[in-house]
Structure 1
Amino acid sequence: MTTSRASDLNLLMVHADDHAPVLADGLAESTACGQSIPTQSDEASHFWDEGGDPNDIEVQRWGVIAPQGPEGDRLLALIKPLMAHRQAQQQGEPIKVYRAPPQMTQDEAMRWKKREFDTGADLNIEVPRYQLILGDLDQVPLALQQVQASDGYVGRLAFDKEEDYAAYVDKVLRWERSAAGRDKPDSLFFTVHDGTAATAVGHRALVAPGVEVVRRRQRSGQYPAKDIVEFGDPVTPSPDELLARAEGQEASVLFTLSHGEGAPRGGWSSPEEQRRRQGAMSFGREGRICGDDLRSRPFMPGGVWFMLACYGAGTPNSSAYKHWLAALAAAGQFRGKPEAVLAGLPGPRDRPFTSALAQAVLANPNGPLGFMSHIDLAWTYSFQELDSGATNRPARYMAITRSILKRDRVGVAMRELLRFFDQTNVELTSLYDQEARQRSAGEPVQVDAARQGHLWMLRQDLAAYVLLGDPAVRLPDGGSAGGPTSPAATAAPITVTTAAAAEPASPAATPAPITVTTAPVAEPASPAPAPAAIVAAPGPAAVAAASSDSFAIPAPAASAARPAVPVADTPRDAAVDASQVVLEEAVAQCILADLAVTSAAARVGLSRDALTQLVARYREIGRRALVGGE
C-alpha cells in the first residue's frame, strides 16, 4: 500500500480512464505557504435570533432563491407543492422568493445579500434562514451559495431534467408524512481502500479515529445511533459491497471516503461526457459508482449521504487552487503539471455543473433526502490540519453525522462543518491584519508564512463543501403522522404570475418582482403533479405589491374549502364526516403535539383566533366528560 508522510497534502482525485491518482505522492506542506485571500470589505453579518430553536421553521423561516427571468419562473413552478407544504404545515407565513443573476464574484454576492436579501430596513424577522437555491451553478452562482451559507442554512436543487425536480419534491413530502422512520437510525462509515496515499491517510486520520469517537459517545448515550457500522473491504474495494448495504438502509446516515473521478489523461471527449462522469465515486481498478447506477435502485432511502471526494457535488467554473498550483510549478515545487490537476475544469465556453451522481441519487424516489459533498478539488487538509503540527480533526465530520442522527435539519447539520470555515477565516484575516499594521507603523514585519499557508489551504478546502437538497429536510421521525404510501389529497392549482420585464443589464440591476399564489390546503399527490402554466404580465398593482417575491396561501371562504362544523356536543353514535375528522386532528395536534397554532390553523383554513377558541371548547367538553358530565 502506498504510504504518505503525515505532513503531505493529499488529493482525493483519480484519472477517469485508469483510476491512477492525479497526485500519487502528495505535496509537501511548505507548498501552502505564501498564499493570500481576497480582501472582502462586506463581511456577512448574523441577523437572526440565535436564541430560537434552529430547527423551528416557524421561527427561522424558509425561502427560495431562484434565477432571474422565465427560467426562474419555470423552476418555481416545479417545486410549488414543496413551497405550499412548507408554508401551510410549518411556517404559516408567506414564503419569500428572491431572484439572483447568473454570474457573481464573492464581493458581488455579498453586495447582493445586503441589497436584496438583508436590506437592514427592518428587524429582518421575516428573512428566511433556511434558503433553497434553485438551478445549476450557471443559473445561480456558487459564490452566492457560499456567501449565504456563512450564516444561513443553505441547500441547492439542480437537475438537468424537469421531472427530477418533481420526483425529489414528491420524495420529500412522502417521507415527511411517513411514520416509517426508526426510533434510532444507523450511522454508516465506508472507505474505499484502493491502496493510494490519499485514501490511506483519510482512513487513518479521519474514519478510524472518528468511528472510535462516536462509538465511545454512543456508549455514554451522546451519539443517537442504533448501530455504528464501519465497512469497506481492506483488500479488494467493491462497489457491490456499498450498493448492497445501502440498498436496505432506510432513514440513516452514510459517510463515504473515496477518490472522485477527474478528467482522463487525454481529457474528456465532450462536455456532455464530462458532466455525466466527473465526480463519480472511484473504486480503483474495481470500477466506479456513477449517476446511472443510482438513478433507480434503492440507495439510502430517506437518509442523508456525505461523500468526501473531489468533485463529488460538482465542478465550479474555476478552481480556488488554480493560481496557487501555477505558482508552485513556476517555483519548481510541483512535480507534475498544474493543467493535469485542473483538467476537470470546464472550458471557456462550457458551464459549471452539479455532479450527475448527486442529481441521480437525489431524484431517485428511493434515494436520500440530502447529499453533502465537495465542489472543486478535495484535499485531506480539512481533517488533517498542519498549522499546529499535523493535528487530526475527525470530530468536525463526526459532529455532522451526530447532528443528522438526532434529527436536526440537514442545513443545521451542515453548519457543524461550515462554522470551522468561519473560525479559520477570522484567524487568517487576523494574521494579515497584523502584518499590515506592522508595515504601516514602520515596524519589522514578522510573517509566519507556514501558518498562513496552512490556514489558507484549510479555508479553501472547507469553503467548497456544499449541501444539495432542501436544507429543511431531516431524518424521518418514527412518531410522525401518516405512512409512506398513505393516500394524499390532490394538489390544488397554483398560479405563478410575474411582471414582464427585460433581463437586468448587470448583476446589480434589481430583478422584477414575482408573486406566487396558491389555493388553500393542498397536500401534493404522489407522484407530484405537472407544473401549472406560467401567466405573464400582471397589472401594475400586482407588481408593486412587495420589494421581494412572496408565496401566499389566501384564506378560503367559509363555505368554499369545507363545510362549517358546529362547535357543540355531539352524540356518541352520530356520524362524523371527513371535514370534522380533519378539524379534530388539527385541534388534537395543538393539544398533544404542541404544534404551532399558526401552522395548524393554516392547514385547516381557519384564523388563529378561531382555532384557539375551538381548542378551548374541545378541552372544556373533554374535561366535563372525564367527571361524568356531557
Structure 2
Amino acid sequence: MHADDEPAIHLLLSHADDHRPTLADGLPGAAIREPSVETEELAPLSFYDVGAAGNDLEQQGWGVLAPTGDHGDAMLAAIAPLIAHRAAQQGRPVRVYRVPPRMSASQAARWRKQVFNIDEPEDIPYYQLLLGDLDELSGELQQVQSLGGCVGRLAFTSLADYESYAAKVLRWELAPPQVGPAPALFHTVHDGSAATTLGHRSLVAPVLSLAHDARSRARFPADLHELGDSTDPSPDDLLAHVDAPGGLLFSLSHGDGAPRQGWRSEQDRRSGQGAMSFGRAGSLRGADLAARPFMPGGVWFMFACFGAGTPDRSRFHHWLAHLAALGKFRGNVDAVLASLPRGDERPFVADLPRTLLANPEGPLAFIGHLDLAWSYAFMEMDDSKAKRPAKFYNVLRALVRGDRAGIAAQELTRFYSDTNDELAELHDAAEAQRSGGQPTTSDPRLGHLWMLRQDLAGYILLGDPAVQLPRGEPHNPVRPADPKNDSTHHWPTTITTEPASSPASRSPAPAVATPLALPALESAIHALLAGDEPALAVHLRELGLDRPTLERWRDRYTAAGRDALARHLRDGD
C-alpha cells in the first residue's frame, strides 16, 4: 500500500454552531510520518505494592494533592468528610500534599522525585485525588502522577460543589450495594460523519462484541444495551436510558469545539467546549444535566474531543501547524486550531463532567479526553492487526467487575507507558547510529508511535479514583461514623509545605517542599503547649510553619487526645 493510500486519521471534533465535523475528511495516514517530536522529562516510578490487592486502600493508601494557598485550604475543608471516610477505610491518616500551580511535565517530574517519592514506599499513597482546575494543578502533573498511581481530579467552580460531591460518594458507599448486574450502555451518535462511522465500526461494535462474549462466560457481569438511533440521532434517545443507578456508560461522539466565528466570550467557551454533539439535533451541555438524574452512582467514559477539558497547550498544535506548512493538511487547519488555547487563555475542565460530578444524582467518576481525540487510539496503524479496541474494553471490564475507577483507568496508562517505552527505544537506537557515525534510517514506526502516545496521554479520570460501581461487596467498607464519637475527623494529616521565599529569589521551577513529619510536628505542638518560646521558634523555622497554622494543629491534636481519653474512661480499656 502506498503511503498516501493509508487509512485516514479521524478527529472527533465538531463546530459548536452547526455541529458539522471540523475535519470531515480526516488526515492522510502518511501525515504522521513527519512528526515534530517534543520530549519532556517524565519519571514513571511506581510504589504500587503488586503483592497486595490493588483495590485495597489499607495496602495501597489514599492521598490528596491540593494547590498551595487559601483556595487549596478551602477545597480541603469542603471535602473533609470524604477525607475522614478514606482515613477510616485505610486505617491511618490521609496524606495531604500542597503543590505549586501550573507545573510543566518536567517540573512535575521533579516535584514527584524530590517531594512525593522521598518517604518510605509504604507511606506513599497509590490512590491520589487532585483538587482544583487545570490552571491550579496542571494536566501535566496529573499525567506524571498517573504513571505510578491511580489519579483522579475534582475541579468545581464553587466550594458547595466539592461538598456535594463528597456527600454523594459517602451516600453511595455507606448505602447497601445495588442488587443485580450493572446496566452497561454503549451509545454512538450516528451523525453520518466519517469519524463516528469509523468509531462505531472499529471501536464501539468490537468492544460491545467482546463484552457479549465475556458475559456469556460470566466474565462481564452487566446487562448490555446498545443505544443510538442509526438514522436520526437525538439526545432524547440517550436521556431515556440513563436513570438506572450504578451503571456504566460508554459513548462515542464528536465533542463541540469553537463555532465557525469563534466563541463569543470566555464563559461561552467554558460552558460549550467539549459538549456532546448530536449533529443536527444539537448538543448536551452541562446546564442540560444539572438538575436531572444522569447515571446516578455510575461512571461515564466519553470518547470525544475535549470531553474532559481543554489544556493550555495541545500536544498536537505544533504537529498540525507543521503539516499545514508542508501543505499536507486536508482541510482548514485554522478551523481545528481555533479550539486550542491561545495567548493567556486558561486551561479548564469541561463543564459537562464538572456539572455531572457535582449533581447529587450524577455519576461518581468520568473518563474523557483532555485534548483532541483521534481515531488513532483504536486504529494503531503500526500494528498488523490494525484495530486495537481491547484497551478500552479492559477499562469497562474492570469497572463492571467492581474495581475502583483508578484501577480501571490504569488500563489506558499501561498502554501509554508501553508505547512511550517503545518510542524511547527507537529514539535511542537512532541516536546510537548517529553517535557511531552511521547513516540514520527513518523507522516508520516512529510517527505511528508518537501519534498513539500523544493520543493516549490525553485521557484522564475526573472524580475520586477510589470510587467503584455500587454492585457487590464494597472494598474496605466502614460503618457510618458516630458524630458524637468520631475521632477520624481529628486525625492529624501529613502535609507538605513550601518554604518561604522572596519574589526576587523565585525561579520558574517549583519550590522544593518540605514534608511535615508527625514526630517533628508533635514536638512543635509540645513546645507550644509548654510555652517554651525559644524551642518553639526553632521548630517553626525548621518546619516552615507560622504560629497560627501550628495553633490549628494543636487544637486538632488536643481534641483527638480528649476523645481518646473519654473513650478510655467510658470503656475502661
Q: Which residue of 1 aligns with 2:197?
A: 200
> What secondary structure, in the 3-state scheme, does the structure 2 residue paired with 1:125 have?
helix
Q: CA deviation at 1:557?
A: 3.9
CA deviation after TM superposition for structure 1 residue 153, in Å: 0.2
**AA paired with 2:570?**
A
Matches within 5 A, 1:149-164: 149-164=146-161
Deviation, structure 1 residue 382: 0.4
Structure 1 position 15, deviation (Å): 0.2
- Aligned equivalents of 1:101 and 1:183: distance in 2? 45
Aligned with 1:411: secondary structure?
helix
SS of residue paired to 2:323:
helix
Question: Is 1:384 matched with 2:386?
Answer: no
**Cα distance, 1:84 vs structure 2:** 0.7
- 1:542 shift after superposition: 6.6
1:440-499 Cα deviation digits (max 9, x unpaired):
112232222x32111111000000000000000111144569x9xx99748887699989
1:45-73 deviation line (CA, Å, top 9, x unaligned): 22332111110111111111111122211
Q: Counterpart in 1 of 2:510? A: 508
Length-normalised TM-score, structure 2: 0.87
* Contact 1:179 1:480 (8 Å CA) reproduced: no
1:235 aligns with 2:231: yes
- Separation of aligned partners in 2, 1:452 and 1:296: 47
Conserved 8 A contact 1:243-1:299: yes
Q: Given that residues 179 and 477 in structure 1 are in contact (C-alpha distance below 8 angstroms), is that contact kept between their aligned partners in structure 2?
A: no
Number of the residue aligned with 1:314: 309
The match for 1:260 is: 255
Q: Give the Cα–Cα distance (whole angstroms) in 1 for the partners of residues 537 and 361 of structure 2.
A: 43
- CA deviations on 1:106-149 (whole Å, 9 max, x unpaired) are 11111110011012xx5421000100000000000111000000
Give the corresponding residue for 1:70: 70
Distance 1:386 1:75 in 2: 44
Match runs of 1:581-592 below 5 Å: none
Contact conserved, 1:326 with 1:338, CA < 8 A, in 2? yes
Correspondence for 2:349: 354
Q: What secondary structure is seen at the aligned counterpart in 2 of 1:273?
A: helix
1:289-341 deviations in whole A, cap 9, x for unaligned? 10001111000111100000000000001110111111111111013333220
Distance 1:325 1:179, change over 3 A: same
8 A Cα contact 1:194 1:284, kept in partner = yes
Taking structure 1 as the reference length, what is the TM-score of the superposition? 0.79
2:104 equivalent in structure 1: 105
Q: What is the identity, as a one-letter code, of the residue corresponding to 1:21?
A: P
Match of 2:17, as an amino acid?
Answer: D
Would you say 1:244 and 2:240 are equivalent positions? yes
Return the offset for 1:358. Answer: 0.8
Change in CA separation of 1:206 and 1:502 when aligned onto 2, cut-off 3 Å: same
- How much does 1:508 deviate? 2.6
1:564 partner SS = helix
Q: What does 1:419-568 correspond to in 2, within 5 Å?
A: 419-448=414-443, 450-479=444-473, 489=483, 505-506=506-507, 507-511=509-513, 541=539, 554=560, 557-558=563-564, 560-561=566-567, 564-565=570-571
1:338 aligns with 2:340: no
Distance in 1 of aligned mates of 2:270 and 2:514: 32
Q: Is the contact between residue 279 and residue 312 of structure 1 (CA under 8 Å) also seen in structure 2?
A: yes
Alpha carbons 2:134, 2:349 under 8 Å: kept: yes
1:291 to 2:286 alignment: yes
CA spacing shift, 1:10–1:499, aligned 2, 3 Å: closer
The alignment status of 1:170 with 2:167, answered yes or no, reads: yes
SS of residue paired to 2:21 = coil
Paired with 1:373 and 1:76, the residues of 2 have a C-alpha distance of 25
The amino acid of 1:455's aligned partner reads L
CA contact (8 A) 2:36 2:322 kept: no
What amino acid maps onto 2:10 in structure 1? N
Instruction: State the match for 2:221 in structure 1.
Output: 224
Aligned residues: 532
Structure 2 residue runs without a partner (length 5+): 519-535
SS of the aligned residue for 1:186 comes to: strand
**Of residues 380, 404, 407 in structure 1, which corresponds to 2:402?**
407
Q: Which is helix-richer, 1 or 2?
A: 2
Amino acid at match of 1:274: R
Deviations 1:579-623, CA, capped at 9 Å, x for gaps: xxxxxxxxxxxxxxxxxxxxxxxxxxxxxxx7xxxxxxxxxxxxx
Identity %: 48
* Cα contact 2:196–2:254 (8 A) shared by 1: yes
- Does the CA-based 8 Å contact 1:7-1:390 persist in structure 2? no
Query: In the alignment, is the contact (CA less than 8 A) between 2:402 and 2:472 conserved in 1?
Result: no
- Do the aligned partners of 1:515 and 1:542 also contact (CA within 8 Å) in 2? no
In structure 2, do the counterparts of structure 1 residues 40 and 286 end up closer, same or farther at CA, with 3 Å as the change threshold?
Answer: closer
Aligned-residue CA RMSD (Å): 2.8
SS in 1 for 2:240: helix
- Confirm or deny that 1:52 pairs with 2:52: yes
Q: 1:368 aligns with which of 363, 370, 381?
A: 363
Q: What is the CA distance between 1:35 and its match in structure 2?
A: 2.1
Q: 1:320 to 1:390 in 2, by over 3 A?
A: farther
Q: CA deviation at 1:556?
A: 5.0
Distance in 2 between residues matched to 1:443 and 1:500, nearest whole Å: 50
2: distance between equivalents of 1:562 and 1:167? 35
Counterparts of 1:166 and 1:509, CA distance in 2: 30
In 2, Cα distance between equivalents of 1:364 and 1:451: 44
Structure 1 CA distance, aligned partners of 2:9 and 2:499? Answer: 52
Question: Is it true that 1:140 corresponds to 2:137 in the alignment?
Answer: yes
Change (3 A) 1:329 1:48: same
Tell me, yes or no, if structure 1 residue 91 matches structure 2 residue 90: yes
**Structure 2 counterpart of 1:12, one-letter code:** L
Give 1:294-305 correspondences, 5 Å limit.
294-305=289-300
Whether contact under 8 Å (1:414, 1:467) holds in the other structure is yes
Q: Which residue of 1 aligns with 2:526?
A: none
CA shift in 2, pair 1:172/1:258, >3 Å: same
Deviates more, 1:170-179 or 1:338-347: 338-347
In structure 1, what is the Cα distance between the partners aligned to 2:436 and 2:512? 43
In structure 2, distance between residues paired with 1:480 and 1:457? 38
Q: Distance in 1 between matches of 2:309 and 2:385?
A: 28
Q: Which moved more, 1:182-191 or 1:107-116?
A: 182-191
SS in 1 for 2:63: strand
Unaligned runs of 5+ in 1: 517-537, 567-609, 611-630
Find the counterpart in structure 2 of residue 275 from structure 1: 270
Tell me how far apart the structure 1 counterparts of residues 171 and 540 of structure 2 sit (CA, whole Å). 34
Change (3 A) 1:155 1:28: same
Matched position secondary structure for 1:23: coil
CA 1:281/1:503 → structure 2, altered by over 3 Å: closer, same or farther?
A: farther
- Partners of 2:474 and 2:318 in 1: CA distance: 51
1: CA distance, partners of 2:13 / 2:540: 51
CA shift in 2, pair 1:515/1:363, >3 Å:
farther
**Residue identity in the other structure for 1:470:** D
The corresponding residue for 2:525 is none
Q: Could you tell which deviates more after superposition, 377-386 or 335-344?
A: 335-344
Q: 1:559 to 1:68 in 2, by over 3 A?
A: closer
| Preserved CA contact (<8 Å) 1:177 1:480 | no
Structure 2: how far apart are the matches of 1:356 and 1:15?
Answer: 17
CA contact (8 A) 1:346 1:352 kept: yes
Measure how far apart 1:37 and its partner are.
3.8
